[in-house]
Each structure stands twice: as structure tokens, then as C-alpha cells.
Amino acid sequence: MKLIFSPASPFVRKVHVVLHEAGLTDRVSLVPVATTALNTADEARAANPLGKIPALIRDNGDALFDSRVICRYLDVLGESHLYPQDRVWDVLTLEALADGIMESAVSMVYEVRLRPETDQSPAWIEAQWSKVVHALDALEHGKLFAFSGEINMGQLAVACALGYLDFRHGNRDWRKNFPLLAKWYKDIAERPSLRATEPQG
């Protein structure tokens, strides 16, 4: 299989983490691409009409996307039990929250990097950050059931989201207002799958 990949993308990182958790790294070759909303890489477009990454090309040539579908697929393939049946809806909701943090955080980067300075909207950037803050607040105050207990895909996705905040929005210092989350993250970040996939770029 082939994974259309960028080491900076938090969505790609989720998939990469599952490959490690499921012991499937040998089954997938990484195809690095540089792709943005304004300049789509050919490999990304060929695998996904939306031109977004990650996309996983299976051995039969069929492509899977987006990250949530790929993670679920790899979890079944590797029998890694990251979506335990008895709490699957909570785990998926937690993963959706993490993906939402990533979407807002990535779109803040796009706004600054891809638009001319005169077209950028500080109010819009702050509105995106406000979504991130509300999500972190829900995690800090234990409002997401799957955020406790045995490791699951929702928790791994949250770790990828927090790693991306450090990577691209370190100046916002999210730890300042969320000490419990910061402590949780310090521990989970030591997990080998997360150590092996730290963002770069």
C-alpha cells in the first residue's frame, strides 16, 4: 500500500500513528508530497478528487480517504482495537473533536501563508482559534467520555492535534490555561507511535 504523505500534516500523522500502533509500517510505503489548497500535488489529486492528504492507495489500486476512514481501515487490518466496540461512538466523537481542532489550526496557517497580507482577516483567524480553545476547554473539564480509560483512536487523534498546536501555534501557549490537558499530553507524547511521528517541515 502507499500513503500520500506529508510529515507536517496532523491528519497524515494520525494515520502514521495507527500504522505504528497496529504494527503495519512495513506494509505501507510513504509517498511524500507538498500540497496546499492553492497548489495541489498531482499524487494527491490522483488519489483523492478533493486533492487532500492523507490518502491511502490499497494494493488493488483503490484509494481510501479521509484520515478517519483510513485509520478505521488500518485498525481493522492490524487488529489494534483502537475503536473498542463498547465505546465506539464516544471514540469517534472524540476523534471528530480532535479533527476539528486540526481543521481550525491548519486553516489559520493557510490564512497567513496562502493569502496576501492585505486579504487576511485577523477576526477570522481569532474565530478559528476560539474553536480550538472551546475544544481544549471541553477536554480539560472531562466532557468527552472517551478521553479516559484505555488508549483509543480519539486519544491518539487529540495527541496529534496538540502536537500540531505546538508545531505551528507555539506562540499561543495553549498549556497556560489547560494544565490537566498539558499533563495528560506530556505522558501520552512519550508513546513510541507518537515519538516516531513528530511533525516536521
Ligand X SMILES: N[C@@H](CCC(=O)N[C@@H](CS)C(=O)NCC(=O)O)C(=O)O
Residues within the interface to ligand X (CB under 6 A): 9, 11, 35-37, 40, 51-54, 66-68, 99, 106
| For ligand X, the closer CB: 20 or 72 | 72
CB of 176 to ligand X, least distance (A): 25
CB of 112 to ligand X, least distance (A): 15
| For ligand X, the closer CB: 142 or 201 | 201
CB of 104 to ligand X, least distance (A): 11
| For ligand X, the closer CB: 11 or 174 | 11
| For ligand X, the closer CB: 37 or 112 | 37
CB of 162 to ligand X, least distance (A): 15
CB of 141 to ligand X, least distance (A): 25
| For ligand X, the closer CB: 51 or 154 | 51
Q: Which residue number has the CB closest to ligand X?
A: 66
**Buried b vs exposed e over 97-134: b needs ≥16 C-beta within 10 Å?**
bbbebbbbbbebbebeeeeeeeeeeeeebeebbebbbe
